[in-house]
Amino acid sequence: MKKLFLFCFLIFVSCKKEREQFRLSGAIFGTTYTIIYDGEENFQSDFDQLFQDINNALSTYIPNSMVSKINKNNSIEVDEHFKKVFRASKEIYKATDGRFDPTIGAVVNAWDFGPTGVVENLDSLKIKKLMQSVGFDKVKLEDSKILKPIETALDFNAIAKGYAVDVIAEFLASKNSSDFLIEIGGEIRCSGLNATKQKLWVVGLQNPDLNSELPYVDKVTLNNASMATSGTYRKFKIDENGLRYTHIMDTKTGYPSPTNILSVSVIADDCMTADAYATALQTMPVGDMSIFLESHPELKVFIVFESEDKALEFRSFNGFQFYKGL
């Protein structure tokens, strides 16, 4: 009997997989991703399926996605991915007094920052008309169906990448992987340690001065936390008159937000929250942002902005701390 037990134990030990650090990367959501995790299996096919499911729910660039069908006023039932993003968006919409608003989609398209292209001869009258359809308070989720005005278009691109990061994180946690870094288009969530270094994860903060030889303005340690950055230094347009406007829309006016803030980095528990607030905070003047963050200590924030003489300036809120060389 003892020999049989020993034989079975040896078989179990020999079949047990060795843990290793996997590093997977590719293209998704019009950007790139990197997933580093400590585990026993390569989950590439699982990640691909999760990305596909999220795209099918939330991508405005896919004509037959759930959000695209809803924007065409088709009556459909939405899945759990859609519901989770919708509910989180409602909470952040209310918390930011509408500065984060997924119904700004038609206006984003009009300024040629969306999937359908530019509206020609854009003027104040057209903007005013488009803004009549804006207001996330007009949209409701009842059971599994979305109720909205006919002209209202939904666009969750300012929260979807962060949500996808969280979905991958939850999947890895369900597979008993507690040491990982997930990054999609600059939105990041970290857990545990970088197993190869046995240290907390350290990530860089992009330098908005793209002409600088320094790629990062600083580094930050993420200890079981998420970070998302919204910036205007890459995605902007210049019209025929040489005027510069950014992809961050003022949800009150329908015009690109006039701002001297080049980037906003937000650290929060989950990446969906960090992603959405980074967008909302980008629309606020520094003074308004400071007041807002006094009542939201759970958000750690770092901003880079231009002074009146075009010099770069930096400011942090709520204990945002940089890498100390641990």
Q: Domain 43-317 is classified in which CATH homologous superfamily?
A: ApbE-like domains (3.10.520.10)
Q: ∠124-129-131 over CA atoms, to 5°?
A: 90
What pLDDT does 325 receive?
64
Mean pLDDT of the chain: 87
Within 13 Å and on the Cβ side, how many CA atoms surround 273? 14
Residue with the bigger pLDDT between 39 and 217: it is: 39
For residue 124, pLDDT beyond 70: yes
The gap from C-alpha 224 to its chain's centroid, in whole angstroms, comes to: 17
- Give the pLDDT band (50/70/90) at residue 80: very high
What pLDDT does 12 receive?
39
Read off the pLDDT of each residue in 18-28 and give the average, rounded to a whole number: 93
Read off the pLDDT of each residue in 81-89 and give the average, rounded to a whole number: 98
Read off the pLDDT of each residue in 106-132 and give the average, rounded to a whole number: 72
> 148: which strand partners?
none
CA distance 212 to 206: 11
Q: Give residues with Cβ within 8 angstroms of 197, minimum separation 6.
A: none
Percent of the chain at pLDDT exceeding 90? 63
For residue 33, pLDDT beyond 60: yes
What pLDDT does 259 receive?
74
For residue 227, pLDDT beyond 90: yes
Contact 103, 139 (CB under 8 A): yes
Q: Which of 141, 144, 138 is nearest to 76 (CA)?
A: 144
For residue 319, pLDDT beyond 80: yes
Q: Which of 181, 194, 187 is nearest to 326 (CA)?
A: 194
Q: ∠268-48-168 over CA atoms, to 5°?
A: 20
pTM (2 d.p.): 0.88
Residue with the bigger pLDDT between 222 and 9: it is: 222
What pLDDT does 216 receive?
83
- Give the pLDDT band (50/70/90) at residue 3: very low
Give the N- to C-terminal CA distance of the chain in Å, as an integer.
Answer: 52
